[in-house]
A and B are shown apart, each in its own frame.
Chain A
Amino acid sequence: MSDGRSTEIVSPTLDRRSFLKTTGAVVAGASLGDMLLARQAPAQTKGTSLRILVWSHFVPAYDVWFDKFTKEWGEKNGVKVRVDHIPHLELPARYAAEFAAGAGHDLIYFVGQILTGQYYRNLVDLSDVAEGLGKKYGGWLDASKSAAQVGGAWYGVPDFFISIPVLWRKDLFASVGLGEPKTWDDLRKAAGLLKGKGHPTGMQFSHCNDANHNWRALMYCYGVKETDPSGQNITIDSKEMREALKMGKALYDDGMTPEVFSWDDASDNRFLASGVASWIHDAISAFHSTRITNPKVFEQTFVVPEVAGPGGRWNVGEPNVWAVWKFSKNIAGAKEFIQHVADNQKEAMEASLGYNMPFMKDQYKKPMPYLGKDAKLGALQDQEKITAFLGFPGPMTPAAQEVVTTFIVPDMFTKVARGAPIEDTMKWGVGEIRRIYAKHKAS
């Protein structure tokens, strides 16, 4: 008969659970050291599943390799892996949907828009993974922190960055008595001479990713600093920015045709492959695709890591960063997989035909995979010394990302190229950037 009070019932099942918990912990503790040495996924990931969201890589062969690589890792470690590839432009909407739902992929990937700063409160602190990898591979490049750290903690682990060098036609340059371009002035001169011969150049003056990268490369080479190193204070309103805008207009007037106002990210690839372009400023996927579509043009296409301006030589890379939601159902598996990918960076570089540039210093030992074997791409083995990311020299903060996604910088170059006075354009552009930074500071 009950007296109305709750009665604690000691269940034999509970005892068994306690026993299993205790013994499990002892076994796990004993084997941890061995597992760390053997770089095997811990037993706790066995029988789990891991959903990975990545973009559709610009080198399709890489995706084929990645899917196979992932499958093999899953089979070896008893993890059921599912990889979803979606176009990079669709990733931000997917992140927003997954965050709102509190469910989705266990391991996600930032590319195009680096939203580490936006989502860090909801991402797993991956400092243990990043610092472990840094120690193992000679340390991270300084630029890595810009894309993956918030407040000194790693909320993302950089995977690779995409380099965006100059691809130039040796035969066409030679036809006007020019050799390998070293400076932006060289590029301007070449384009000016070759445009009249039916070989203009082109950089996107439109609302696409490449427009954001390419014009910033020119800006940084002209000494423009978008913000101070803290990323909090805008420093773009400078003499250097005015000079960069002037150079942008000169490049357009001398060497381009109006079609650049309509270009998307792939237009310059086609422009090169068609045999029309004298030079373009694009990732080496354009180089590789020309190899297939127009071997004659490919033969004459060479690569310069970046040309110099009065402020030095800066190439604007596109980082690719792993991140793990806090609501991920397999955080341990996700961490293991990130480390596994980093440990196989050489294989990844080969599979991507040298497209994936590593983030850790030891991975730049020459000869680098693929790049070290290709005479034309060999110069990219020093790319880490000149790489900066969007928002330079500040980190890729949410404010910096909003400036990127609203295409303010490409629009400034477009206005000036179309004849708007530089001062009016500066007033407009700097005003827009200030407004965005002020909103982010206030929130």
Chain B
Amino acid sequence: MSWWRTPTARRYFFGYTLLAPAVLYVGLLVGLPFLFSLYLAMSDASVGSPVARFVGIENFVSALENAVFYTAVRNTLIFTFGAGILKGLLGTTLAFLLLQPFKGRKIVRALIVIPFTLPIAVSVLGWKWMFDSQFSVLNWALSRMGLIGGYGSPDWPVWLGEPGLALLSVMFVNVWRGFPFSAIVLLAGLTSVPPEIIEAAKVDGASFLTRFRKVIVPMIAPILFIGSAFDTVFTLSDLSIVYLLTNGGPDGATEILPTLAYNTGIRGGALGRGAAISLFLFPLLLPAIILLLRTLRRKQY
């Protein structure tokens, strides 16, 4: 009997058949576009030119010669990791709050995901109004409370106009939109921790922080790491918030790699250089994801 007819071979065949749609999906929807963007990045392709010439690493060198590129890399890192940390902290706090029994908990749990479920264009336009230099509801509220002066006074914040504030504002919107998701992910993890283990830790005299650090985190580590990985990818490649609020301005204060790539590649028409800029996200992302996945493997029980 040939090996192909053995039960082992049949089991392999069955397994790979089940795996095939996922592999095909990743190949077609992730692998091919990635290879295509690599091809674009190594060519002089423009939006209107069907024939592109191979230019090697010229587009990458061009990006490195662009002073704005370094600002964009710096801002991208601040935006991603700053927002990530804030989302983690706020998400954890919210998850613990939502874990407590109180009246209307189910409704509150449903309501908190609204920012995440709203179409991004709608919610960002809402924030654009709230950050408006003249009609900002935040400023008018702060002014009415006597915390800042009136419109036109020196302490009237121009949220999207001052470099530091502008970057903070776009990060804030990302956090506002993303931390309910972090909370829901954590909540799912927390509810999966058997209460008897927590009770046992309490009996052993473990404080809240010790219980969290030594019992809860190790148990929900897989969920935490997967959530963090997703969040890092989404934040790093998030174009919409910055594009709609500031388009990278003023003077590059909020420029991130996705806006620079979009304005160069699509609006400016230089597809090759735009693709090269966007591919710089890859080396930023890859170590972060490898680190997360390796830690996850080590932490699995």
- Which of B48, B66, B248 is A407 in contact with, Cβ under 8 Å? B248
Closest residue of chain B to A270, judged by CB?
B134
Is A401 a contact partner of B135 (Cβ separation < 8 A)? no
Is B133 a contact partner of A259 (Cβ separation < 8 A)? yes
Interface flags, A385-410, vs B, CB<8A=1, else 0: 00000000000001001101111001
| A53 and B269 alpha carbons, distance in the complex (Å) | 19
- Which of B250, B271, B273 is A207 in contact with, Cβ under 8 Å? B250
Is B250 a contact partner of A206 (Cβ separation < 8 A)? yes
- Which of A120, A122, A198, A439 is B270 in contact with, Cβ under 8 Å? A439
| A96 and B271 alpha carbons, distance in the complex (Å) | 10
Is B264 a contact partner of A207 (Cβ separation < 8 A)? no
Q: Does A73 contact B (CB under 8 A)?
A: no
Question: Which of A66-105 touch B at CB < 8 Å?
Answer: 92-93, 95-96, 99
- Which of B47, B62, B273 is A118 in contact with, Cβ under 8 Å? B47
Q: Does B231 contact A (CB under 8 A)?
A: no
Q: Does B49 contact A (CB under 8 A)?
A: yes
B65 contacts across to A, CB distance below 8 A? 435
Is B251 a contact partner of A96 (Cβ separation < 8 A)? no
Rounded to whole Å, the gap between the CB of A425 and the closest CB of chain B is: 10
Is A207 a contact partner of B48 (Cβ separation < 8 A)? no
Rounded to whole Å, the gap between the CB of A4 and the closest CB of chain B is: 42
Q: Does B159 contact A (CB under 8 A)?
A: yes
Q: Does B166 contact A (CB under 8 A)?
A: yes
Q: Which of A177-185, A261-269, A306-314, A366-374 contacts B (4 or more CB under 8 A)?
A: A261-269
| A431 and B62 alpha carbons, distance in the complex (Å) | 12
Is B161 a contact partner of A258 (Cβ separation < 8 A)? yes
**Chain A interface size, under 10 / 10 to 19 / 20 to 34 / 35 or more:** 35 or more
Is B133 a contact partner of A118 (Cβ separation < 8 A)? no
| A404 and B267 alpha carbons, distance in the complex (Å) | 9
Is A207 a contact partner of B162 (Cβ separation < 8 A)? no
Is A402 a contact partner of B266 (Cβ separation < 8 A)? no
B260 contacts across to A, CB distance below 8 A? 406
A415-B247 in contact given A270-B135, A402-B269 (Cβ < 8 Å): no
A113-B44 in contact given A274-B134, A414-B251 (Cβ < 8 Å): no
Rounded to whole Å, the gap between the CB of A91 and the closest CB of chain B is: 9
A415-B251 in contact given A113-B267, A122-B48, A405-B268 (Cβ < 8 Å): yes
Q: Does B82 contact A (CB under 8 A)?
A: no
Is A402 a contact partner of B158 (Cβ separation < 8 A)? no
| A262 and B158 alpha carbons, distance in the complex (Å) | 7
Q: Does A337 contact B (CB under 8 A)?
A: no
A443-B53 in contact given A198-B152, A407-B248 (Cβ < 8 Å): yes
Is B68 a contact partner of A262 (Cβ separation < 8 A)? no
Rounded to whole Å, the gap between the CB of B78 and the closest CB of chain A is: 18
Q: Does B111 contact A (CB under 8 A)?
A: no
Question: Which of B39-69 touch A at CB < 8 Å?
Answer: 44, 46-50, 53, 55, 62, 65-68
Q: Does B263 contact A (CB under 8 A)?
A: yes
| A38 and B192 alpha carbons, distance in the complex (Å) | 78
Closest residue of chain B to A264, judged by CB?
B128
Closest residue of chain A to B263, judged by CB?
A405
Closest residue of chain A to B128, judged by CB?
A264
Q: Does A362 contact B (CB under 8 A)?
A: no
Rounded to whole Å, the gap between the CB of B133 and the closest CB of chain A is: 3
| A402 and B44 alpha carbons, distance in the complex (Å) | 15
Closest residue of chain B to A438, judged by CB?
B62
A414 contacts across to B, CB distance below 8 A? 249-251
B271 contacts across to A, CB distance below 8 A? 96
- Which of B46, B160, B250, B266 is A443 in contact with, Cβ under 8 Å? B46
A124 contacts across to B, CB distance below 8 A? none
Closest residue of chain B to A93, judged by CB?
B266
Question: Which of A235-286 touch B at CB < 8 Å?
Answer: 257-264, 267, 270-271, 274, 276
Is A207 a contact partner of B249 (Cβ separation < 8 A)? yes
Interface residues of chain A: helix, strand, loop or mixed (majority): helix
A118 contacts across to B, CB distance below 8 A? 46-49, 269
A442 contacts across to B, CB distance below 8 A? 44
A259 contacts across to B, CB distance below 8 A? 133-134, 158, 161
Is A206 a contact partner of B246 (Cβ separation < 8 A)? yes
Q: Does A428 contact B (CB under 8 A)?
A: yes
Most buried by B among A113, A205, A259, A428: A259
Is B161 a contact partner of A260 (Cβ separation < 8 A)? yes
Q: Does A224 contact B (CB under 8 A)?
A: no
Most buried by B among A257, A415, A432: A257
B250 contacts across to A, CB distance below 8 A? 205-207, 261-262, 411, 414
Rounded to whole Å, the gap between the CB of A153 and the closest CB of chain B is: 15
Is A261 a contact partner of B264 (Cβ separation < 8 A)? no
Q: Does B252 contact A (CB under 8 A)?
A: yes
Is B131 a contact partner of A262 (Cβ separation < 8 A)? yes
Question: Which of A199-228 touch B at CB < 8 Å?
Answer: 200, 205-208, 211
| A432 and B65 alpha carbons, distance in the complex (Å) | 9
Q: Does A115 contact B (CB under 8 A)?
A: yes
| A200 and B133 alpha carbons, distance in the complex (Å) | 14
Most buried by B among A93, A115, A262: A262
Rounded to whole Å, the gap between the CB of B210 and the closest CB of chain A is: 46
A439-B47 in contact given A207-B250, A261-B161, A262-B133 (Cβ < 8 Å): no
A406-B49 in contact given A261-B158, A270-B135, A432-B68 (Cβ < 8 Å): no
| A439 and B272 alpha carbons, distance in the complex (Å) | 11
| A81 and B12 alpha carbons, distance in the complex (Å) | 56
Is B48 a contact partner of A262 (Cβ separation < 8 A)? no
Q: Does A361 contact B (CB under 8 A)?
A: no
| A198 and B152 alpha carbons, distance in the complex (Å) | 8
Closest residue of chain B to A208, judged by CB?
B247
Question: Which of B216-265 touch A at CB < 8 Å?
Answer: 246-252, 260, 263-264
A interface, CB within 8 angstroms of B: 92-93, 95-96, 99, 113, 115, 118-122, 198, 200, 205-208, 211, 257-264, 267, 270-271, 274, 276, 398, 401-402, 404-407, 410-411, 414-415, 418, 428, 431-432, 435, 439-440, 442-443
What are 20 inter-chain pairs, A to B, with CB distance below 8 A?
A: A96-B266, A115-B47, A115-B269, A120-B48, A121-B48, A200-B152, A206-B161, A211-B249, A258-B162, A261-B251, A262-B158, A262-B246, A262-B250, A276-B152, A398-B268, A402-B270, A405-B264, A406-B263, A407-B249, A443-B44
Given pairs A121-B50, A406-B263, 19 additional interface contacts (CB within 8 A): A96-B266, A99-B47, A119-B47, A206-B250, A259-B133, A261-B162, A261-B249, A261-B250, A262-B159, A262-B250, A267-B133, A270-B134, A405-B263, A406-B264, A432-B66, A435-B62, A435-B65, A439-B273, A443-B44
